[in-house]
Amino acid sequence: MTEVRTDPLTGLTVAVNGRRQGRPRSRGEDCPFCPGGTEAPADYRVRRFPNRWPALDGGRCEVLLHSPEHGASWATMGIQQALTAVELWGECTAELGARPDVAYVLLFENRGADAGATVDHPHGQAFALPDVPHAPAAQLERSRLLGRCPLCEEPAKELVVAEEGGWRAWVPEAPLFPYALRLAPRAHVPDLPGVTAGGLRELAGLLTTVFGHVDALFGRPAPYLLWVRQRPTDGGRWPWAHLYLEVNVVWRAAGVPRYLAAGELGSGMYFTPLEPERAAERLRGS
Ligand SMILES: [Zn+2]
Ligand SMILES: [Zn+2]
């Protein structure tokens, strides 16, 4: 059983689940996610299933397979496959979000051992959370207090890495990791189910372009953390919700991990050794 505890001093929530230390790590051979593997007995294009090692109880954790090809990535799978994968994200958001016990659907992907992935087959995950978690709630509250949506504003030209129709990718002005990217529709769309079929195709194209740049910059597939922020599904209106994806590469150079260290976790202030404008220029040039 998972127990969600709140630190009485900091107010941060932690899900405690002792069973997950036993989960297998799998690389290459005997991949459970390849067609014919334990989690994917039949052929598939994309696939969703409950996580066998859930971090939370109550059918709240799913795995989303983005491609049947073990070595595929956003950069190489092709726009049609990327589109099928982002359509799966949208379906997953709509289905889990419709549950009365789900207030927030968090989609995310950890790629590579340095990013904590236990299986190296291309896959994402979904958490169907009973409450709106702290980070998206704080961000929505910030926009409400500002009285404007920062994602509706044009980023500085020097920070933009790629554009695809109504979508754009840029390096945030104040990124947590040297190589970070934000991908968002220009229009104030709240969530993936609200994106048109054409918009999803543009997102698929942008993911292909952006990860092509990321992997070219490092000369090999770089480990990253990706998450999707979208409107809570608790039935509230949430007028400030503007869909976006955030990507943080956990290397500062090829093979050199960038750790969040004591000065940062201790202060809540982050330090980056690379000007975001320079990071954008390097990403564009790769
Ligand atoms: Zn595989
Ligand atoms: Zn907006």
Summarised one tens digit per residue, pLDDT across range 209-245 is: 999 999 999 999 999 999 999 999 999 999 999 999 9
Contact (CB, 8 A) for 250 and 115: yes
| The pair of three-digit structure tokens given for residue 78, joined into one six-digit string | 């092709």
Give every CB contact of residue 227 below 8 A, 6+ residues apart in sequence. 106, 107, 108, 109, 245, 246
Instruction: Say how many Å lie between the CA of residue 236 and the centre of ligand 2.
Output: 17
Q: What is the mean pLDDT of residues 59-66?
A: 97
Least confident piece of the model among 32-36, 52-56, 248-252: 52-56
Taking only the tens place, the pLDDT of each residue in 178-197 is 999 999 999 999 999 999 99
Q: What is the mean pLDDT of residues 7-18?
A: 89
Q: Please tell me the class of the 35-285 domain.
A: alpha beta
Report domain extents, the chain. Answer: 35-285
> What distance lies between CA 232 and its chain's CA centroid?
16
Instruction: Say how many Å lie between the CA of residue 179 and the centre of ligand 2.
Output: 23
Quote the pLDDT of residue 27: 54
CA angle 115–259–119, rounded 5-degree value: 10
Taking only the tens place, the pLDDT of each residue in 154-167 is 999 999 999 999 99
Instruction: Say how many Å lie between the CA of residue 232 and the centre of ligand 2.
Output: 15
| The pair of three-digit structure tokens given for residue 165, joined into one six-digit string | 């129709």
Give every CB contact of residue 70 below 8 A, 6+ residues apart in sequence. 28, 31, 33, 34, 120, 121, 122
The continuous run of DSSP H or E covering 3 comes out as strand 3-6
87 versus 114: which is more confidently predicted?
Answer: 87
Taking only the tens place, the pLDDT of each residue in 268-281 is 999 998 999 999 99
- 116 pLDDT band, cuts 50/70/90, is confident
143/138 Cα distance (integer angstroms): 9
- Ligand in nearest proximity to the CA of 72: 1
Largest CA distance in the chain: 52
Question: 114: which DSSP letter?
Answer: G
Quote the pLDDT of residue 21: 66
Instruction: Say how many Å lie between the CA of residue 270 and the centre of ligand 2.
Output: 25
Quote the pLDDT of residue 260: 87
Instruction: Say how many Å lie between the CA of residue 111 and the centre of ligand 1.
Output: 13
Say if residue 18's pLDDT is above 80: no
Say if residue 114's pLDDT is above 70: yes
48/105 Cα distance (integer angstroms): 14
Whole-number average pLDDT of the chain:
94
- Within 148-275, residue ranges assigned H as helices are 197-218, 262-267
- 23 pLDDT band, cuts 50/70/90, is low
Instruction: Say how many Å lie between the CA of residue 16 and the centre of ligand 2.
Output: 35
Instruction: Say how many Å lie between the CA of residue 273 and the centre of ligand 2.
Output: 29
Quote the pLDDT of residue 76: 97
- Ligand in nearest proximity to the CA of 47: 1
| The pair of three-digit structure tokens given for residue 85, joined into one six-digit string | 């994968």
